Structure 1
Amino acid sequence: MQVNNVRLEAVGVKFEQFPETDYPEVAFAGRSNVGKSSLINALINRKALARTSGQPGKTQTINFYNIEEQLYFVDLPGYGYAKVARASREQWGKMIEYYLNRRVPLGMIVLLVDIRHTPNENDRIMMDYIRTAGFEPLVVATKADKLNRSQIIKHLKIIKQALALHSIDQIIPFSSMTKQGAEAIWDEIDQWLAYVQEQNEEKEIDVDEE
């Protein structure tokens, strides 16, 4: 998709604060400071529209970015930062789980992990949340510029095993510094959008035939 028009449209913690349009939604989930906002900025060709912070755990809301009046990128609160109060962590966890299970326009989930580290218990819990909600996420391994090519393959295999994936082909290495992986991520999103459009057209045909 060629992105020229994008804006932060809604920020909320409960459903009545979320957009009421039926644009399909791509949600981005990951540990605090894994690079969700940096990935979103890279995908929409902006330097700082998505809110980035050097302080893990700062994003406490679900942020909806309107992309070309066609879809939303949804930035979920980062999880797993120990210094955030336990009550806040539990609240975010409930909010994320509720969104994943109840949000009808949600159709694709991108799970970010740091390519340098083995996915931890919080990552595995998030993967369970996502699968329980009926999705198989696109896994993006951030900070790929920190490793050389041989290391990348090794670490992709570690991530594959930790998250019980079928193949390392389900993981896209990404770097916010070099934009490595951005095109491949957009390819996945575009394929999904084409599928959504095809499904919607079939529903319209069925309605017309009735």
Structure 2
Amino acid sequence: MIHLQNAEFVRSAAKKEDFPRDGLPQIVFSGRSNVGKSSVINRILNRKNFARVGNAPGKTSHINYFRIDGKFYLVDLPGYGYAKVSQAEKARWARLIQSWFDDPGLMTLGCMLVDARHKPTADDCTMGEWFKQAGKPFVVVANKLDKLKKSEIEPNLQRIRDTLEIDADIEVIPFSAEKGTGRPDLLGQISAHLGEGLL
């Protein structure tokens, strides 16, 4: 049983040689730099400031690894789509992320974050293609649900599904890092792919 009690930062990987390959499952999180990725990770772990919530988007320029209960890694990919980063830096991030996806032994489950309020961007669609091509299970987490009216939720979730062109068997989880909505569903997915129960 995994209790999410013991969460430790392990390393920031700047190149593929830095990726841990110790056989532990890796649950990877990706998303635009302002989608609230750190807040979602903090909500999952029920920690306030575990994954640093940056004031300036685009702060995460490496792949950050957090080991949970000694049983698996949460992997935080660099946020993408941030305008104030140089083209050279964006290209470096893309190469780093691509090298992670190219290694078939790494990903156990992908969690692709999008903003529930908006149509996914071209960058989101590119990230979606990387997840599809990886051939590993992934879910789409539609964060910032608390910013939507009830009547907007279903149409917005459908628009996300249509824009990303994802199959019906891929779950789109409505989520609010602010309120905790969707946490049990996301933990259920993580638990199922770890093959262990989460408390």
* TM band (smaller chain): over 0.9
The question of whether the paired residues in 2 share the 8 Å contact of 1:157 and 1:168 is answered with no
Distance 2:154 2:68 in 1: 32
Distance 1:56 1:103 in 2: 29
Q: Which residue in 2 is equivalent to 1:200?
A: none
- After superposition, the Cα gap between the structure-2 partners of 1:169 and 1:13, relative to the gap in structure 1 and judged at 3 Å, is closer
Distance 2:150 2:169 in 1: 14
Q: Which residue in 2 is equivalent to 1:92?
A: 93
Distance 2:156 2:40 in 1: 19
Structure number with the bigger relative contact order (C-alpha 8 A, sep ≥ 6) is 2
- Number of equivalent positions: 195
The question of whether the paired residues in 2 share the 8 Å contact of 1:172 and 1:185 is answered with yes
Q: Which residue in 1 is equivalent to 2:113?
A: 112
Paired residue secondary structure (1:106):
coil
Shift of 1:166: 3.1
Shift of 1:172: 0.5
- Which structure shows the bigger proportion of residues in helix conformation? 1
Paired residue secondary structure (2:102):
helix
Shift of 1:49: 1.0
The question of whether the paired residues in 1 share the 8 Å contact of 2:107 and 2:136 is answered with no
- After superposition, the Cα gap between the structure-2 partners of 1:47 and 1:103, relative to the gap in structure 1 and judged at 3 Å, is farther
Q: Which residue in 2 is equivalent to 1:132?
A: 133
Q: Which residue in 1 is equivalent to 2:27?
A: 26
Shift of 1:177: 1.1
Distance 1:47 1:103 in 2: 33
1:31-71: CA deviations, max 9, x gaps? Answer: 11111111111111111111211211111010001011110
Paired residue secondary structure (1:111):
strand
The question of whether the paired residues in 1 share the 8 Å contact of 2:140 and 2:170 is answered with no
1:145-182: CA deviations, max 9, x gaps? Answer: 00122211110011010011234971101111110001
- When normalised by structure 1's length, the TM-score is 0.88
Distance 1:9 1:35 in 2: 21
Q: Which residue in 1 is equivalent to 2:143?
A: 142
- When normalised by structure 2's length, the TM-score is 0.93
Shift of 1:12: 1.4
Q: Give the percent of matched residue pairs that are identical in Structure 1 and Structure 2.
A: 38
- After superposition, the Cα gap between the structure-2 partners of 1:97 and 1:59, relative to the gap in structure 1 and judged at 3 Å, is same
- Larger CA deviation: 11-20 vs 96-105: 11-20
- After superposition, the Cα gap between the structure-2 partners of 1:66 and 1:81, relative to the gap in structure 1 and judged at 3 Å, is same
Q: Which residue in 1 is equivalent to 2:77?
A: 76
Paired residue secondary structure (1:80):
coil
- Give structure 1 stretches of 5+ with no counterpart: 196-210
